[in-house]
Chain A
């Protein structure tokens, strides 16, 4: 029996290399900007117009140095925890990220389990009752869902539920509640336990705030679920169909096992293996930031911040965000691989 630990160690080493590679790639992209633009990072808005300031900045910060020199300089900063200053949001990159990730997390916290569990359930049912009603409905729904532009669906939902029916407003919380919390923090009547409104509301004894947060999450979560669950259903379905065709299913039936046991214990466990990988990647992608959805719903999470940064050429912010995303992705990859090795004993041999 090959040990799981050895496998994990091997993957960790690979992870380091990939992260390093990602940083090189990100840095290479920023180097595509001419030094003048990059100098803006170091020069405040007020002084930019003055002659000579930009040239001075280029010299001071070595913006014309060779690639590896600049890269080395930047990496040493990053490793010390300094990701630079995001001038589009007026705070350090680290502060910007730590202030905003909670909003992204709130949405993903609801969306991910729904996508995974609903996707798996419907996918399995579609495969078991192939060409039945569930199968056809799921199939059509999947194709439609996967074809929707997320921003369009978002705009549509906003206009109907927010504009016409006036059930919720845009943003993570009703404006009244946002003010309430801000005031509470100032007067120390509100303790920020987790930063996530859904939890903090309960922990501070204000279930109405929790409810409000949930209400505001419904629309963005709907948009994400509608589009991503389609993919999961399709993959689960085809994986399950493949598993059902395998020889060991005949053995299972020949042992006298009931259909339920054959499908759910024998077939599904094998079918879940590729789906696990996909789910992990999906969640990592979601955590990395829902750029479009957050922008449309003004949710103030990582995604909208990064989009704004990219638009305003806020290079440190984009760099910092890119590193964060890549790290999340790679770690998720690792977790998925470990999960994979745990579920499927054959993988441990590789």
Chain B
């Protein structure tokens, strides 16, 4: 009985929100640019998911992301071959198959974009909200810190980070567990959740603390070059999110319903979860969508400069990097145009899809322009 009526209550309380979503989807459907963007992204997603079928992994390959070299034709000719039936997009020098690189590069692109945005978003959300909500000294310190990182020429910082990062990081798992459990118990305390769960978590916390001293669990993490690129771009990118989120939270913080929520006894985190975050999610979503595009571009730029993915990794920027050899000899460059034209088109359309979507979302979700 109790559960049933609570469910009914929930459905009723969600009605206005559902109506808003329906309105939003209607507007997205009507907006041609948004649809175009969505279609492009879905196409790429399809390519990514169908990669093993569209570009089958050679039987003797250990890693799907290693571009196969065609060792049959012209091993002695390092020059790229234009598109033929055998290699649909042609090959680069050293006979790497462009078609394979482009198809599997789609997966790399998705992975890059979503990982970086995901982590930056979480970090930015935590820090930005804390800074904006509690204000004062904490805000000043955190904001100065993010300002410093933003003051940096992003690409150079990323480059420096990629080079500086060691290939092997020994991670002290015990330490990591201690931190995680401490955070979770803090959260549970603040939210006022069940005491039993809290006890369990704190027990695990004690265990991990003990293990640091008696039996530390150390994991050697091997970072591929691509991983380093992802980490570098994340470290350079999170301040951007922090700023945006802080701005939004500040804007919402002074609204009356926040004061009402606090007055009705909601805890700090409760207010943040239930009231502040739902009202700030739209602009953050827009920034995130647009950012996926720039992240992929940055990763491609780093690969182009030579510090991105490994030389035979299936990454769009990496493939274009091979064209650098003819950069100073334009006549040769135009002769080998297919080596960079096609991967570049892949990058451009991928990024354009996300930009179209983000731009259209920005128009659709703009509260002042709705319902005109």
Q: Are A164 and B352 in contact (CB-based, < 8 A)?
A: no
* Known contacts A32-B164, A318-B160, A330-B151: A149-B300 contact under CB 8 Å: yes
Chain B residues lying within 8 Å of A25, measured Cβ to Cβ, are 148-149, 152
Looking at B144, B163, B355, the one whose CB has the most chain A CB atoms below 10 A away is B163
Chain B residues lying within 8 Å of A156, measured Cβ to Cβ, are 340-341, 344
Q: Are A152 and B153 in contact (CB-based, < 8 A)?
A: no
Stretch at the interface among A14-22, A46-54, A112-120, A181-189: A14-22
Chain B residues lying within 8 Å of A34, measured Cβ to Cβ, are 166
Cα A210 to Cα B233 in complex, Å, equals: 40
Q: Are B163 and A150 in contact (CB-based, < 8 A)?
A: no
* Known contacts A21-B144, A151-B304: A321-B156 contact under CB 8 Å: yes
Q: Are A298 and B151 in contact (CB-based, < 8 A)?
A: no
A: contact size bracket: 35 or more
Chain A residues lying within 8 Å of B367, measured Cβ to Cβ, are none
* Known contacts A322-B152, A325-B152: A18-B144 contact under CB 8 Å: yes
* Known contacts A149-B344, A292-B304, A310-B163: A298-B355 contact under CB 8 Å: no
Cα A146 to Cα B292 in complex, Å, equals: 12
Q: Are B355 and A146 in contact (CB-based, < 8 A)?
A: yes
Cα A333 to Cα B155 in complex, Å, equals: 19
Stretch at the interface among B54-62, B183-191, B261-269, B328-336: B328-336
Q: Are A163 and B151 in contact (CB-based, < 8 A)?
A: no
Looking at B33, B164, B356, the one whose CB has the most chain A CB atoms below 10 A away is B164
Q: B229 an interface residue at 8 Å Cβ cutoff? A: no
* Known contacts A29-B164, A149-B301: A329-B151 contact under CB 8 Å: yes
Chain A residues lying within 8 Å of B160, measured Cβ to Cβ, are 29-30, 310, 318, 322
* Known contacts A32-B165, A33-B164: A152-B320 contact under CB 8 Å: yes
Chain B residues lying within 8 Å of A326, measured Cβ to Cβ, are 151-153
Docked complex: A155-189 residues within 8 A CB-CB of B:
155-156, 158-160, 162-164, 166, 169-170
* Known contacts A147-B351, A152-B348, A170-B328: A159-B333 contact under CB 8 Å: yes
Chain A residues lying within 8 Å of B349, measured Cβ to Cβ, are 147
Minimum Cβ distance to chain A for residue B234 (Å): 15
Cα A322 to Cα B157 in complex, Å, equals: 8
Chain A residues lying within 8 Å of B161, measured Cβ to Cβ, are 29
Cα A146 to Cα B290 in complex, Å, equals: 10
Q: Are A17 and B144 in contact (CB-based, < 8 A)?
A: yes
Q: Are A306 and B156 in contact (CB-based, < 8 A)?
A: yes
Residue from B163, B165, B333 in contact with A158 in the complex, judged by beta carbons closer than 8 Å: B333
Cα A304 to Cα B311 in complex, Å, equals: 21
Chain A residues lying within 8 Å of B33, measured Cβ to Cβ, are 139, 143
Q: A144 an interface residue at 8 Å Cβ cutoff? A: yes
- A-B pair number, CB within 8 angstroms: 153
Q: A195 an interface residue at 8 Å Cβ cutoff? A: no
Q: Are A285 and B347 in contact (CB-based, < 8 A)?
A: no
* Known contacts A147-B351, A152-B347: A21-B148 contact under CB 8 Å: yes
Q: A100 an interface residue at 8 Å Cβ cutoff? A: no
Q: Are A159 and B344 in contact (CB-based, < 8 A)?
A: no
Cα A147 to Cα B155 in complex, Å, equals: 17
Residue from B156, B337, B344 in contact with A318 in the complex, judged by beta carbons closer than 8 Å: B156
Minimum Cβ distance to chain B for residue A167 (Å): 10
Minimum Cβ distance to chain B for residue A309 (Å): 9
Q: Are A289 and B153 in contact (CB-based, < 8 A)?
A: yes
Q: A279 an interface residue at 8 Å Cβ cutoff? A: no
Q: Are A163 and B333 in contact (CB-based, < 8 A)?
A: yes
Give per-residue flags for A253-290: 1 if the beta carbon is below 8 A from chain B beta carbons, else 0.
00000000000000000000000000000000100110
Cα A170 to Cα B324 in complex, Å, equals: 13
Chain B residue nearest in CB terms to A289:
B153
Q: A11 an interface residue at 8 Å Cβ cutoff? A: no
Docked complex: A295-326 residues within 8 A CB-CB of B:
295-296, 298, 306-307, 310-311, 313, 318, 321-322, 325-326
Minimum Cβ distance to chain B for residue A159 (Å): 4
Cα A143 to Cα B165 in complex, Å, equals: 34
- Provide a sorted-by-A list of 26 A–B residue pairs whose CB atoms are within 8 angstroms: A18-B147, A18-B148, A21-B145, A30-B160, A32-B166, A143-B356, A144-B352, A146-B355, A147-B349, A149-B304, A149-B320, A149-B351, A152-B348, A155-B333, A156-B341, A163-B332, A245-B368, A289-B153, A289-B156, A292-B155, A310-B305, A318-B156, A322-B153, A322-B156, A322-B160, A325-B156
**Beyond A21-B144, A21-B147, A151-B320, 15 extra complex contacts between A and B, CB < 8 Å:** A18-B148, A25-B148, A25-B152, A34-B166, A149-B351, A151-B301, A155-B333, A170-B327, A170-B328, A242-B368, A295-B327, A298-B327, A311-B306, A318-B160, A325-B156
